Chain A
Amino acid sequence: MSLSQSGIQDGVAALAADPRDRGGAGTPLLRVRGLIKHFGRKRGLLAKASPVVRAVDGVDFDVAKGETLGIVGESGCGKSTTARLIMQIIAPDLGEILFDGEAVGSVALDLTQFRKQVQMVFQDSYASLNPRLTVEDTVAFGPRVHGLRRRAAIARAHDLLDRVGLEPARFAGRYPHEISGGQRQRVNIARALALEPRLLILDEAVSALDKSVEAQVLNLLLDLKDEFGLTFIFISHDLNVVRFMSDRVMVMYLGKVAEVGPSEAIFSRPRHPYTEALLASMPSMDPDKRTEEAPISGDPPNPINPPAGCRFHTRCKMVATLCAHAEPPPHHVGGGHLAACHLADPRSGHPRLVAA
């Protein structure tokens, strides 16, 4: 089963000139297959059976060159673990990550080379900065580790600070506690760009910011994406922001992909009942049309013992006996849109399909 998308060629022309491009425009920048990470699994002969958190449990997706893939889902769905697995901050139990056609960690693409091309911005702008480094030293740190002379690295840092809207003359010598949250997140973005990456993973990067500052940082990210020809993985629980930023959106639930497809299709014609519930849970902005009934009840189940069959069946309004036993595979519903629901597959035998 192939998950490659057609029609996502935006920005590909602009990237064609990138000398680092090895696989060509048609090769996805990132290809993830069968990614699995279980926490708490002990190894060895004497290991007792202990509870295992199935944080990421078989995830496949592609990110095309120059696109923004949004990842949404509730806590415990595995979206942040997926980001950390891609970054190789934690090692996957199983699965394959190809960057521009080459396996990460292989001879052709070792981790040093890979990390120069993939960078990450985290949610907590303060915790992700070293409190004892000034802003310019923070941004220059990566390039210096990768062999740039101090003077050249500082010059690059100043240039980047300028690009992210922090005047170097005012901000270069400050420490993280001397600047505001929005400014700190700009420093984190500048640091992520210092190695001239091709892929930027933004894990709830604007979630901790005040609303009035959030819009500034989103605008900045869009500008930088154009200017540097970047590809984004944008992780957030805020569906409005994901809709605004993303070309394609992937919805995760309890360590699995529930649905993935073009942003407009996901938001206007969701095919998975979980996506529908998630969209219907967004607070209304119209005082005359308040939400009258909660779309689903209960909390997301614990990923330690996820339900058998379809993981969403315990909360799904469309549930049938089939759903408790058979796990629905991702099914193509057209236009590069996949949904892992029996209702999306006309041959699944779901009773509601026969009735319709």
Chain B
Amino acid sequence: MSSPIVDVERLTVDFAAGKKTIRAVAGVDLTLAKGETLALLGESGSGKSVTLRALLRLHPRSARIAGSITVDGSDVLAMSARQLSRYRGGTVSMVFQDPGLAFDPVYRVGDQIAEAVVRHTGASFRDGRTRALELFERVRIPSPERRLDNYPHEMSGGMRQRAMIALALACRPKVLLADEPTTALDATVQIQVLLLLRELQRELGLAVIFVTHDIGVAVEVADRIAVTYGGRIVEMGRCADVIRGPAHPYTQGLLASRAGHSVAKGTRLVAIPGSPPDLANLPPGCAFAPRCSQAIEACRKTVPDAVVIERGHFSCCLRAQPTAFSPAPATHGAVG
């Protein structure tokens, strides 16, 4: 395998909130291969969006970021302001949850895309508009010529999100970050945008990190899924492995508590008790231990290391067991 396009090691992000420090990301390691889609799946406050924003260094100066982030061979945390503005949009770009907030309301959408092209490539504004038209056709916006002259409020939610994707792709980035891009959309529109993202990813060979709280959405787009909880990745593996054989008690709980059509009416859902952890006051051990039915004393004391379950699938749980048939590399939890 060639070297990964994104390599994040021991990433921590702290925010100061008065006298307290909020540890939003508490040690995240992840790699992303070229042309791969990784879904970060987690609840609010699990650190998934903060991790994504750290990749573009979108956090305020007061945020303390430690660890290392290497994208396409460059050290992101060491970039100067000038390098950073070339990197944002040029190498890595982002699609946000609310496209209504991501566009400037007083400029035509087509001009905003053209401006990005002009800034990054030095092309003329006319060429920028041509590129914008090409992109609008690409993301299948109906009557694209006319739509280029629209202001953001003149577009529907689904169309604005398509335009947002066009803007993100304007300078041919290698990595696309998507932060809950379909959460604000209606069900029938969400599936259209998911299919569009999947198609663009395949045809342009993009590497994509897709943040979502919806397991179904992750299954639709991802090659691999990373489950986040309390600022850490607690389980990661190929999409099918994680969905069919969840190894971490939190992932197991999430899948079991879904009100799917397999749940008979009138029965109770198997709910995870308690509430998500307070990031200003993370427990010393496993962040999930206070809610975990399988927790033992050791879980409350040490942060568990990754245990390899099978090839490319690991779980950060002291009680995790590698599956019998897989060759178990030496890890802390699997000795014996």
User: Contact residues of A with B, CB < 8 Å?
Assistant: 74-75, 180, 182-183, 210-216, 218-219, 222, 237, 239-241, 243-245, 263, 267, 277-278, 281-288, 290-300, 302
Contact = CB atoms under 8 A, between A and B. Distances in A.
Contacts of B276: 180, 210, 212-213
22 contacts: A75-B157, A75-B186, A180-B276, A183-B275, A210-B213, A211-B254, A212-B253, A212-B254, A212-B291, A214-B257, A215-B259, A215-B272, A216-B272, A222-B268, A241-B259, A277-B188, A283-B191, A283-B217, A284-B219, A291-B220, A299-B156, A302-B156
Contacts of A292: 195
A239 B214 CA distance: 13
Could you tell me the dominant secondary structure of chain A's interface residues?
loop
A228 to B, nearest CB: 17
B191 A240 contact: no
B243 A287 contact: yes
Given A216-B273, A294-B192, 16 more contacts: A74-B189, A180-B275, A210-B276, A211-B213, A211-B258, A212-B43, A212-B272, A212-B291, A218-B271, A240-B260, A281-B187, A281-B190, A282-B216, A283-B220, A297-B192, A299-B157
Interface in B238-283: 239-240, 243-244, 250, 253-254, 257-261, 263, 265-266, 268-273, 275-276
A288 B191 CA distance: 17
B259 A244 contact: yes
A293 B195 contact: yes
A283 B214 contact: yes
Contacts of A183: 275
Interface in B89-104: none
A104 B220 CA distance: 47
A292 B272 CA distance: 33
Contacts of A286: 219
Contacts of A237: 186-187
Instruction: List the 10 shortest-distance A-B pairs measured between CB atoms, nearest first.
Output: A283-B216, A215-B271, A215-B257, A244-B259, A74-B186, A210-B43, A299-B156, A215-B269, A212-B272, A287-B240
Given A74-B186, A210-B44, A288-B240, A299 B158 contact: yes
Interface string B188-217: 111110110000000000000000011111
Given A210-B43, A287-B243, A216 B271 contact: yes
B299 interface: no
Contacts of A299: 156-159, 186, 189
B186 A219 contact: no
A74 B187 contact: yes
A287 B244 CA distance: 9
Contact of A240 (B142, B195, B243, B258): B258
A183 B273 CA distance: 12
A284 B188 contact: no
A284 B187 contact: no
A285 B275 contact: no
Given A219-B268, A284-B220, A211 B158 contact: no
Contact of B269 (A182, A244, A281, A295): A244
Contacts of A74: 186-189
A219 B260 contact: no
A288 B142 CA distance: 31
Nearest to B242: A287
A85 B189 CA distance: 27
A50 to B, nearest CB: 18
B265 A215 contact: no
Given A216-B273, A281-B191, A298 B158 contact: yes
A61 B245 CA distance: 44
Contacts of A214: 257
A296 B266 CA distance: 32
B191 A212 contact: no
A215 to B, nearest CB: 4
A330 to B, nearest CB: 22
B224 to A, nearest CB: 11
Given A219-B269, A291-B191, A212 B220 contact: no
A139 to B, nearest CB: 20
A294 B182 CA distance: 14
Nearest to B243: A287
A320 to B, nearest CB: 21
B216 A284 contact: yes
B272 A287 contact: no
Nearest to A293: B195
B220 A290 contact: yes
A155 B308 CA distance: 53
A285 B243 contact: yes
Interface in B39-67: 43-44
Nearest to B272: A212
Chain B CB within 10 A, most for which of A182, A263, A284, A290: A290
Contacts of B244: 287
Contacts of A294: 188, 191-192, 195
Nearest to A73: B186
B259 A282 contact: no
Given A215-B271, A283-B217, A290-B220, A243 B191 contact: no
A278 B268 CA distance: 26
Nearest to A72: B187
B187 A278 contact: yes
A299 B275 CA distance: 36
A313 B210 CA distance: 34
B213 A285 contact: no
A278 B190 CA distance: 11
A277 B142 CA distance: 21
A197 B157 CA distance: 37
Chain B CB within 10 A, most for which of A237, A281, A286, A302: A281
Nearest to B240: A287
A284 B254 CA distance: 16
Given A283-B216, A285-B215, A293-B195, A213 B187 contact: no
A214 B269 CA distance: 10
Contacts of A211: 43, 213, 215, 254, 257-258
Contact of A215 (B186, B191, B270): B270
Nearest to A286: B219
A300 B156 CA distance: 9
